[in-house]
Every structure is written in structure tokens, then in C-alpha cells.
Amino acid sequence: MLQRGERYGNGMKVVLQNLTKKFPSRDRKKRDEVIAVDNFNFEIPDGKLIGLLGPSGCGKSTTLNLISGLVKPTAGRIFFGEDDVTGLPPENRGIGLVFQNYALYPHLTVRQNILFPLQNLKGKDKLSKEEMMKKAAEAAKLVQIDELMERKPRELSGGQQQRVAIARAMVKMPKVLLLDEPLSNLDARLRLQTREEIRRIQQETKITTVFVTHDQEEAMSISDMIVVMKEGAVQQIGQPQEVYDSPVNLFVAKFLGTPPINIFKGKIGGGRLYIGDEAVLAVGGVPDRNVYVGVRPEGFMLNENGPFGCQLNRVEVMGRDISVVSMHKECLNEVVRAIIGTETKADIGIDSAVKGGIVRFSLIPHKVFLFERETEKRIDAEVCSL
């Protein structure tokens, strides 16, 4: 059996220092270049799982490939522990890689696929046949495919194939595990199951892991910390809940959470926050100005005397939650979506909160964020109920 936290990736922090990657423009006539990764600074703590998160094209894969050595940085340095690995080729970095497409050798069995990286070891790293078999068996057991060792990849489900790919990445006992959208090819149920599996493996082995995804829920659910990227630049780094509860800008606020945060045009005037003509909250410590107001779906409470009125559209029951869908002329989302917890399911109070087609809410202050209109940065303001 594997010794907990002993055999894999012991104490391997990964330091990214001013890491930058520029690609020449694909259009030869143009001189503009793509800054895929822009001055990335982060010390990935050893033994943690980091979710690298952002929309397609924001530089996630490039960042991962810089860490793996598949891509050379334009500027900046990478350290594994205290060692500067910036100039090292991928095969000398002690990494395990898993990609979206499992990339198994179709003509080899599961066992042969897992053995493959070991058979290429040379010199002092060379292993005896017996040692190789033992390591392959351990890796297979870790990802729970030890029953499937004699099968060919085509005889496996997508989830099983991805486990084989993980076992193959783990068999050399890498110091760092790098996963690039490893669940994107799986159907919804397998995706959920396999992500739990990756979390378990990571916690058992304590291997420092970077997990790339564009799926915020996926990143939030398995990461110790998330890094949110946009256009090559890091926007925010923190524990998932921390980032959700305290986004630094409008982009991060909008990127995290399902259903998404509701954004309104609003203004601060005389210590009050207005959306349209209605003063919805009290605000301290900031001068009058126009703002964007973000309200998390769980930030609304039905209240017949509430300060904020929206035009009721419909009430949806979604599993455990009840969703009140409405409209407001200052809302930038298509609809205003309020999630009302179901402790009050029998009577969520919708009837008394609606008059003449207008549903009234009060807003929960810590679920409301204010952003500057120009920079879209979060405004540090004291917000409280009126």
C-alpha cells in the first residue's frame, strides 16, 4: 500500500515568478503578439490542489505547459521547491501530465499503457521488471482500475480510460501533477464521479496538483485554492469560498456562481444605494457616484415591505431551491434570479410579497457587491440594511 503522503511529491511547492508567455501573431501581416500569460506570480503551496480557472483562451493551458516545460517562457522563472527548473526539459522535471483526450496507446493493454513511462527510464533510474510491475500495480490500485489491467482502451468507458491516463501520469511518482481539462470529455455523471476520484487521489498522495478547467463549479468543488484568469492575467487567488464571498472585480463576481450574480446599474447618493428610484441599502464611507451593483441569487429575501421591487415573471422549483424570476429595467442580466431557501417551502411568502405584479425584496448586505463603473473594480464600502 501507499504510505500516506510519503511516496508522492513530498514537500514540493511550485513557484511562478513573473512568468510571461508571448506568442507571435498568427496573422503574419500584423505585428501584434498574443500575451497568453502576463506576469504570473504565485507560490503554489506544497501538497495542495490548485484550480486554474477562466474562460476559453485566457491562458490556462499555456500556464500549465510552462510549468510542465512543454512551452518555454518569454520571461520569468519557475521553481520546484528551491530548484530553478526554467531551463529543464519536461522529462527532467518530475511531472505527471493528464490531458482532456486520454491519449492512451490503443494497441496496448491497460497494464502496458501504465508501464510505458517506466520502460523508458534510463541509466540510474532504470528499474527491474519486478519493480516496474509493482509500481504499475500500485498506480492502478490508486485509481481503482486494478481489475482492468488486461483490457485494451476501447474496452473501457471514458471515465475508466481517464483513470488509466491518471495512473500512467502517477506511476513515475511525479513531484507535481498537471491536469488540463481532464473531465471535459466525460458525460455529466462520470465527470462528477471522476472529479471526486481526482480529489481523493490528490488527498491520499498529497501530490502538488494544478487542475485546469473553464468550469467554475468544478474548480470550486475540488480545489484548495483557485486562480481566476482573464486574458492572460491573474485576477484573483484564494480559497474558493473566499473568492466567491469577496470578488475583487466584476469579472470574478460574474464568473463564479450558478445561477450567476445579478448585475444592476445603480448609484450611491447621500449614503444610500439606489437601483432605479428605490433606495435599497445604506452605504457608508464612499462619495456619491454611479456603480454596478452585484446581488448574489441568495442575497434576496421576500419581504412585502422590502425596499426593492421587481416585476414578477415566474416562480420555478429547482430541486431543493425555489427560484423567483423577475425583471428590472436596471438589470444587465436577462432576468433577475433570486434563490429562496426551502426551509420555508410550504409558504415561501411569495403571495404576500407580490402586489400588482411587483415582487418585493430586501437585500442581504453581505451578498451585495459594488463595483466602479469605469474600472469594474470592487468598491470597498460598508453596506447595511436601511
Selection from ligand ADP, Mg ion, none that 62 binds (CB < 5 to 8 A by kind) is ligand ADP
Complex with Mg ion: residue 16 or 340, whichever CB lies closer? 16
Helix, strand, coil fractions of the chain, as percent rounded to 5: 30, 35, 40
- Contacts with 1 (C-beta within 8 Å, 6 or more apart), sequence order: none
Complex with Mg ion: residue 61 or 162, whichever CB lies closer? 61
Shortest distance in whole angstroms from residue 58 CB to ligand ADP: 4
Query: What is the Cα–Cα distance from 280 to 384, expressed in whole angstroms?
Result: 9
Q: Find out whether 227 and 51 touch, Cβ atoms under 8 Å.
A: yes
Number of residues that bind Mg ion (CB under 5 A): 1
Shortest distance in whole angstroms from residue 212 CB to Mg ion: 6
Query: What is the Cα–Cα distance from 35 to 59, expressed in whole angstroms?
Result: 9
Shortest distance in whole angstroms from residue 286 CB to ligand ADP: 35
Where are the extended beta strands (E) located within 74-156? 75-80, 83-84, 95-98
Binding residue for Mg ion (CB under 5 A) from 51, 58, 59, 61?
61
Selection from ligand ADP, Mg ion, none that 57 binds (CB < 5 to 8 A by kind) is ligand ADP
- Contacts with 290 (C-beta within 8 Å, 6 or more apart), sequence order: 265, 266, 267, 373
Shortest distance in whole angstroms from residue 61 CB to Mg ion: 3
Residue with cell 445579478: 262
Element counts in the chain: helices (H) and strands (E): 9, 22
Complex with ligand ADP: residue 62 or 209, whichever CB lies closer? 62
Shortest distance in whole angstroms from residue 288 CB to ligand ADP: 39
Query: What is the Cα–Cα distance from 139 to 67, expressed in whole angstroms?
Result: 23
Selection from ligand ADP, Mg ion, none that 105 binds (CB < 5 to 8 A by kind) is none
Complex with ligand ADP: residue 59 or 69, whichever CB lies closer? 59
CA 168 to the chain's CA centroid:
24
Collapsing DSSP to helix, strand or coil, 252 comes out as: helix
Complex with Mg ion: residue 199 or 214, whichever CB lies closer? 214
Complex with ligand ADP: residue 98 or 143, whichever CB lies closer? 98
Q: Could you say which residues in the range 5-64 bind ligand ADP, by CB under 6 A?
A: 23, 26, 34, 36, 54, 56-62
Complex with ligand ADP: residue 47 or 59, whichever CB lies closer? 59
Selection from ligand ADP, Mg ion, none that 58 binds (CB < 5 to 8 A by kind) is ligand ADP
Q: Could you say which residues in the range 58-97 bind ligand ADP, by CB under 6 A?
A: 58-62
For the record, the C-alpha cell of 134 comes out as: 509493482
Selection from ligand ADP, Mg ion, none that 70 binds (CB < 5 to 8 A by kind) is none
Q: How many CB atoms lie within 10 A of CB 127?
A: 15
- Contacts with 257 (C-beta within 8 Å, 6 or more apart), sequence order: 216, 244, 296, 297
Binding site for ligand ADP (CB under 6 A): 23, 26, 34, 36, 54, 56-62
Binding site for Mg ion (CB under 5 A): 61
